[in-house]
Amino acid sequence: AWCQSCDPFKTTQGWTSGNNDIDDCIREFQLKSTTYEDVIEWIPFNRLSNLHKIGSSFQALWLDGIRKVVNHTQSRTSPYSVEIEKFNYSQIETLEFIKEFKNYMQLRDKRKIYGITQSTTTKKFMIVLDNFYYKRDIKYGKCTQCERHNTSEAWCQSCDPFKATQGWTTLWLDGIRKVENNTQSRTLSYPVEIKKFNNSQIDILKFIKELKDNKRKLYGVTQDTTNQYMLVFNDFYYKRDVKYGKCTQCERHNTSEAWCQSCDPFKATQGWTSGNIDVDNCIKESQLKNTKYETVIEWIPFNRLSNLRNPLSRWTNNVEPEVEALWLDGIRMVKNNIKSRSVLYAVYLKEFNSKMDVLEFMKYYMRSEFNERKLCGITQDTTTNQYMVVFDDFYYKRDIKYGECTQCKRYNTSEAWCQSCDPYKATQGWTSGNKDIDNCIREFQLKSTTYEDVIEWIPFNRLSNLHKIGSSFQALWLDGIRKVGDNTQSRTLSYSVEIKKFNYSQIDTLEFIKELKNYAQLRDIERKIFGITQDTTTDQYIIVFDDFYHRRNFVYGKCAQCKRYNTTKAWCQSCDPFKTTQGWTSGNNDIDELIKEAQLKSTEYENVIEWIPFNRLTNLKKIGLNFQAVWLDGIRNVRNNTQSRLLSHTVELKKFNDSQINTLEFIKNYKNYVQFKNNECKLYGITQDAATNHYMIVFDDFYHRRGISDGECPNCERSNTSKAWCQSCDPFKTTQGWTSGNRDIDKCIKEFQLKSTRYENVIEWIPANMLLNLQKIGESKFIALFIDGIRKVKNNSQSRTLSCAIKLEKFDDSHIDTSNFIKKFKKYMQLINNESKLYGIMQDTTTGQYMIAFDDFYYKRDIIYGKCIHCERYNTSEAWCQSCDLFETIQGWTSGNNDIDECIKEFQLKTTKYEDVIEWIPFYKLSNLQNIREFEFRAQWLDGIRKVESRKLSRSQVNTLEFVQSRTLSHEVELKKLNNSQIDALEFIKKFKNFMQSKDSKLRLYGITKDTTTNQYMIVFDGFHHGRDIIYGICAHCNRYNTSEAWCQSCDPFKVTQ
């Protein structure tokens, strides 16, 4: 219903606002309109009815209604409710209004603007708009009143809130514009808010300020009978949400829980007075800015406060004195989106010397974004006439999940702890007998934020069973540590604690307090300080603490000695390190000190370093440079949070030469070795060879690599370090029982074998008699069958894939210069490892030359391609193994011409897919030969082209496919004859190779054949194979897919010439 050539001009005709500048402004936007519904109009003020105020805004009903399109016909929905935004300047400052209106239009993507109007009374210009236009959605259903889509489920933000509104709200009779079924339409009787500005004709600054308020959804501008301009809008549109409930006054969704920003701030300012205009204005200013019911600041009559007292807890450091009281009305709260109060609520009062002081405080509070306290209101002492602010200390920390304070009945600030009441209670009912100590403890108590963190005075007679452990002491605290259960304060009775005495603390108390404060700074990191006590015998002050409190966890079990939770599994950091240092000796003080130093640092039971008597090691044998033995006592392990051992466990031993002579040098070497090997090996301890007196380190060199899922080593009976491979035993085993006959070659191979970390990656010496059917496939390259086959792991057992095809590369003159071959081999290892899989070295028994055996395509293999039926490795592409299938394709055929055979095999050995293999095609396998153009023929290839079929594995219950090599029998192909090829085969081969290089991307080459009549060689291909697609249909002539719709490029061009 809109013609861009005609309609913009039509909209500019037949109306006037009575002001040329306003007319030009509206027409400027009309001429830019691209749809019927988006036209900006002049709306006569007498077309707006039911003008009413809501808070500081206006709503009205637009009688003409918004534009709509019905069946491609221009129409209107009337009357329609709109919101109106009024401005402070109008007919006197028209140009200024227009400037601001254009700024306003830049934000029209957030609201729907309908037009401009002017109050007939105040002459002020106003904007008419729909604040909810872009929230409407078909999924919410239609509004029964305005016929537009709702803004949320069964709710129209324009109509529903208006139904019970009072005051400055109105219905816009014409309503807001809408489009339905591409038809211009309007929503009649649309509720809007209207904001009137006094002296709107000239009050420019106030107008600009109101105009830039982005919280509103603006509909338009109107003008009342006094000529005052008004803005028509929906106030706080973007804050309203169905989850906050409905406002009882305007019936719109609230802007926060049980709070409507349009109605409630105004209501809060009504029905009370402090008796002082300045105080009233200050409170009302804050109320009108308030956004939540709970945060309203009130005037609180002094007679609504009872039980006033001065708690000692507020008289600490530099904090000014405050008063605690019971507020009878209680603080505001919301439950289930209903306004409520928590009656008889404990609050604090801060006294001010003058009215000006309290007003300054209020200004500061309102400006601050980070307030720990919640300001409830202002009151005035009826006796002294001093003003006081009423606040809830720690309001923002309180939570229902922490339970209720038994004293003030508010929610606690942490579990079973009220920050307002409990710190003060903790300072009562005890004394150390020393004023400085009392003040120190109380200082900590008043800063406590949780029940468990309170530092106490602990009478010495409440500590029992005092005993020394290492350099510190332990005792049993009869009263026990504080704990919280079900939000209730409690204690763990008879709890083991550490105690630290301070020498001379009985003489210099202030120095002790200084040390205590330094000590307390570290408590959050490691230790937990419980309190202070005093030895009744020596008068020394003592700190009572748990050195590892923050590490203890019930999942680790309990310490058998101190009955506390362990710090790691089956290990108590307070008790166990000292226990490990007892009851043994190496016979050498330096060695003992070395081991004990490590033991005292141990944090886990399994990591303890021990002195291991040599008679506890059996079955000692040398493996490489180190030794292996069975440790009868076995390594430490944890079962069900209990300390245990794995008896008769295999370990490695490293001997240090001359360690029996120079113990200190051994200790130095030991520390260096531990530092270097710490991330790789597991150190168990130190022993001494009883025969040679050499010191030896006992360890597992690959402990951190071992996993039960990799199986067990049959030699040492430990878990393997990778599948079917034990890094401690197997590398040495691979170096045994073979020789190449050349010491340098042996040394080279063994060097790589000892570095092997997986069974499949071992480099081997391959005897020449283990290779069958050796064939040359390129310069210096061969293919053969490896009888022993490549290594593989099956069910965590070492195995082999027998008679597997491998590639070999010969190195010329390697039999003459072995060292140069080894050098090349090592360099080759660095380069080949990223692409290929190297199996080993062999020697040609005829020429004496060394050869490398490898899989050139190892890293192309993937489980998704299926397994090769020959070598049982994963294929390199679908149904194709680059190692085996190449070998198969070059076998069992001949063209009868060696040069042609070599040419075909050259391309076959480069093939990477089953479908791309170039073949020798016997001429008798081609039937129905037809000449289609000069030197080109068509025929049926009886064997057909290669293809890969996929089918679901019958044994699998999941969606797994296997790929199978197959053929499309009796497939039509093209043939190209090359003249004189029967005379000069080499020239044909040259042309064939050129043809292969320059072939079109759509062409698919199948092979070479030879006409048995003329002896001419022919190329067999499909010139348009890669252009064919099932979507084009099947060619009726050759039964192949067409190359484009209903067109076969192979057949149809020939047909149209006939």
| 224 & 280 share domain | no
Q: The tokens of 588 are what?
A: 């050498």
* Gap between the terminal Cα atoms of the chain: 56
| 238 & 273 share domain | no
| 51 & 126 share domain | yes
In a domain, 134, yes or no: yes
In a domain, 355, yes or no: yes
In a domain, 885, yes or no: no
| 130 & 92 share domain | yes
In a domain, 403, yes or no: no
Alpha carbon 730 to chain centroid, angstroms:
41
Full strand arrangement of the beta sheet holding 73-77:
73-77, 66-70, 183-187, 176-180
Domain stops at, among 857, 884, 910? 857
| 223 & 138 share domain | yes
Q: What is the distance between the alpha carbons of residues 336 and 264, in angstroms, rounded to a whole number?
A: 18
In a domain, 884, yes or no: no
In a domain, 547, yes or no: yes
In a domain, 405, yes or no: no
For the segment 685-711, what is each residue's pLDDT rounded down to a tens digit?
999 999 999 999 999 988 888 889 999
| 772 & 683 share domain | no
Number of domain units in the chain: 6
- Judged by average pLDDT, the poorest of 15-19, 837-841, 873-877 is 873-877
For the segment 551-581, what is each residue's pLDDT rounded down to a tens digit?
899 999 999 888 889 999 999 998 899 899 9
pTM of the model: 0.53
Domain stops at, among 502, 528, 551? 551
Characterize the bridge pairing of strands 374-380 and 298-299: parallel
CATH code for the domain of 845? 3.30.200
pLDDT of residue 90: 52
- Judged by average pLDDT, the poorest of 120-129, 207-216, 553-562 is 207-216
| 218 & 83 share domain | yes
| 353 & 446 share domain | no
CA distance readout (Å), 1019 to 18, 34, 408, 935, 1003? 90, 65, 100, 11, 12
In a domain, 1055, yes or no: no
- Checking if the pLDDT of 194 tops 70, the result is no
Residue 1036 vs residue 936, higher pLDDT: 936
Which residue, among 114, 117, 113, 86, has the nearest Cα to 22 in the 3D structure? 117
The predicted model gives 898-909 an average pLDDT of 92
| 692 & 784 share domain | no
DSSP labels, 62-131: ESS-EEEEETTEEEEE-SEEEBEEB-S--STTHHHHHHHHHHHHTTTTSSEEEEEEEEEEE--EEEEEET
Confidence of residue 368 (pLDDT cuts 50, 70, 90): low
The predicted model gives 487-505 an average pLDDT of 89
What own/partner pairs with CB < 8 Å and gap ≥ 24 does 856-859 have? Answer: 856/807, 856/882, 856/883, 857/882, 857/883, 859/834, 859/835
When the pLDDT of each residue in the chain is averaged and rounded to a whole number, the result is 84
| 606 & 520 share domain | no
The predicted model gives 498-527 an average pLDDT of 82
For the segment 722-754, what is each residue's pLDDT rounded down to a tens digit?
999 998 889 989 999 999 999 999 999 999 998
For the segment 382-396, what is each residue's pLDDT rounded down to a tens digit?
999 899 999 887 888
pLDDT of residue 205: 45
pLDDT of residue 200: 47
For the segment 631-645, what is each residue's pLDDT rounded down to a tens digit?
999 999 999 999 999
For the segment 430-471, what is each residue's pLDDT rounded down to a tens digit?
999 999 999 999 999 988 999 999 999 999 999 998 888 777
| 223 & 87 share domain | yes
- Judged by average pLDDT, the poorest of 302-311, 473-482, 534-543, 923-932 is 302-311
The predicted model gives 985-1011 an average pLDDT of 84
- Checking if the pLDDT of 75 tops 70, the result is yes
| 58 & 170 share domain | yes
The predicted model gives 509-524 an average pLDDT of 82
pLDDT of residue 303: 95
Q: Which domain holds residue 591?
A: 583-701
CATH code for the domain of 426? 3.30.200.20
For the segment 1000-1035, what is each residue's pLDDT rounded down to a tens digit?
656 789 999 999 999 999 999 886 766 677 788 888
Domain stops at, among 857, 875, 905? 857
Residue 494 vs residue 1025, higher pLDDT: 494
